[in-house]
Amino acid sequence: MTAIKILCPTGHLAFTPLEKGSFLLGCEQKPDFIIADAGSCDMGPRPLGADQHVSLAAWQRHDLEVMLVQARKLGVPMIVGSASDTGTDRGVDQFVGMIRDIAAEHRLAPFKLTAIYAEQSIDELKRKLAGGARIEGLDGRPDADLATLGRTTRVVAVMNAEPIRAALAGGADVVIAGRSSDCALFAAPLLDAGFSPGISYYTGKLMECASFCAEPYMGKESILGRVEGEAVCVTAMHPGQRCTPASLGSHAMYERTNPFREDVAGGHIDMTNCRYEQVDPKTTRASGQVFVKAPTVKVKLEGAGKVGERRLAVIGIRDPHTIQLIDKAIAWAKGKVAERFGPIGEGYDVFYHLYGRNAVMKDLDPAPEMKPHELGIVVEAIHRDGEKAAEIAALAARNMFYARLPETKGTAGAAALMSDEILIGEAAYEWTLNHVIEVKNAMELFRTRTMTVDGSGLKEAV
C-alpha cells in the first residue's frame, strides 16, 4: 500500500476565511485529497433549529473557491463535511449551488459531485420509536421519548465514513456531505484505499482542526498528513508553525471528555498507547492507536427545538448601595413580573445576566461577592409570543429602575437605561437530542445525489 497525503486548510470552513498562503504551500506537496469540515454544534442549538448558517455566505464561497480551484487543478478529490455549519439539507444544497457557481465562473472542466443528505424526518423517528426502536441518550441524558421528539424542531444524523467512502468509490471528485463526524471525512478515503479503521479514524481525529494541532497557536492555516502503514506524519504548512509531540498530543485531547477514546459508528479508537515522535522540525509522527470494534452500529442524532421568542434589555448600575443590594433589586423586579405573568419558569422565563459579578460563569463561579465599580445587566426574556416576551423584558428591566430598596438616596431611578428600548433577539432554542440510534448498516439514514458539474459549457447532466 502506498502512502496517502491529505491537506486540511481549516478546522471549520468559513467560520472565518481560511489562509490561502499556507494552503498553496500545501498544494505544492501534491496532496491526494483536500478535506475540510464546515460545521460544529459549538454555536449552540439555534443554527440547527432555525436552519440558519452562522458562517458568512461570502466566506463560505471564498473557502470553497480556494479549495475547489486547487483540487481541480491537482485533479484530486475534495471532501467537505457538515455543510454550512449544521449539515442540514439546506446547507448541503447551499454548498452544491456555490460549487456550481464557482465551476462556471472558473470554466472548470466537467467533474462528478456527490451530495450526501443527513437531515432526519421527526415523524419517521416517531414511527421508529413506536416500532420499538431505542433512541439512547448520550452523556447521561435519558432516552428520548415521544415528548422529546415533540419538543424538537429539526434533526440531523451524524454520518460516519461509510457514505463518504461510497461516494468516493463511485468516482466522486467533490463530496459535499451533510452533518458528519469530523474524523470520518478523513477516514473515508483512507478506508477506501485499504488502510485500517484505526489509523484512518485516528488520522481524522488529529487533523480535523487543521493548524490547531500545531504550535504556536494559529487558526485557519493548513496542515498536511502523510499516512503510511499504521502511522501518520503531520506537518505544519505555515512557515512559522510546527507540529510537535506536545502540540499533537494536546490536540488529541481537545474538545472531548476522554482523551484516550474516540467513538465512531461501529467502534472506538483506543489512544491509550499512542506515541508522538518528532521526525523533522515541522513534522511529528503519531502511531500506537488501536481500533476496538463494537457489537452494534449506532449513529448519533443531534436535535434542536424552539423554546420561544427572545427579547433583551441592557441596563447599568453605578450606585454602590444598589450594587450591594442587587439581589434585593432583582427580587423586587421579578416580583413585579410574576404579578402579571404568574410564577417565573411556568410558560415563560426571565434571566438577569450580571456582567461584573457572575454573568459568564453563573453557578460555576466560586469567586466571593465582589464590589464592582459598576454593574452591567442584560435582561433576557423568553415567551412563546414575541410581544409578551417584549413586555416581560420591559417589566423586568424597568422595575430595576423603580426598585424599592431600604435607605436609597438616589430616588430618581435605581438603574441607568442604556437606551429605553427592548432589543429583538433571535428565537431561543435548546438541544433536545444528543442521542444515538442503532442501525443495521451505517448508510441507512443518509441519502445521496450524484451529478456532473460542467463549468466549461455551463451545462449539467444529472
Partner 1 sequence: MATLRELASTIRSKNAGVDHITFDIICRERANFDRVRNSNVLSREGVAALFNIPVERVSHFTVFEPANAIKFTIRRLKPSGSPGETDVFGSQQYAPLFDVVIP
User: In the complex, which residues of this chain contact partner 1 (CB under 8 A)?
Assistant: 41-46, 138-141, 245-246, 249-250, 252-260, 274-276, 302, 307-308, 310, 349, 351, 353, 359-367, 380, 382, 428-431, 434
Least distance from partner 1 to the Cβ atom of residue 386, Å? 14
- Residue 41 or 175: which CB sits closer to partner 1? 41
Q: At 224, list the grid cell.
A: 498536511
Give helix 182-192 / helix 161-169 axis angle, nearest 10°: 40
SS3 of residue 328 by DSSP: helix
CB of 254 to partner 1, least distance (A): 7
In the complex, the smallest distance separating the C-beta of residue 272 from partner 1, rounded to whole angstroms, is 9
Q: Which helix (H) or strand (E) segment is 38 a member of?
A: strand 33-39
Q: Which DSSP symbol is given to 213?
A: G
Q: Which is nearer to partner 1, 49 or 455 (CB)?
A: 49
Taking the least distance from each CB to partner 1, the nearer of 367 and 462 is 367
**CA-to-CA distance for 228 and 203, rounded, in angstroms?**
11
User: CB 295 → partner 1: shortest distance, Å?
Assistant: 23
Q: Which is nearer to partner 1, 346 or 363 (CB)?
A: 363
Q: Cell digits for 219?
A: 487558526
User: In whole angstroms, how close is the CB of 48 to partner 1 at the nearest point?
Assistant: 10
Q: Which sign, positive or negative, has the C-alpha torsion 208, 210, 211, 214?
A: positive
CB of 302 to partner 1, least distance (A): 8
In angstroms, what is the minimal distance from the CB of 411 to partner 1? Answer: 32
Identity at 188, one-letter amino acid code: A
Q: 94 vs 247, which CB is nearer to partner 1?
A: 247
Q: Compute the distance between CA of residue 29 and CA of residue 18 in angstroms, rounded to an integer.
A: 18
CA–CA separation, 305 vs 436, rounded Å? 17
In order, the DSSP letters of 166-184 are HHHHTT-SEEEESSB-HHH
State which residue, 112 or 141, has the beta carbon closest to partner 1.
141
302 Cα distance to chain centroid? 11
For partner 1, the closer of residues 250 and 448 by Cβ is 250
Cα–Cα distance between 140 and 142 in angstroms, integer? 7
| 437 contacts 118 by C-beta, under 8 angstroms | no
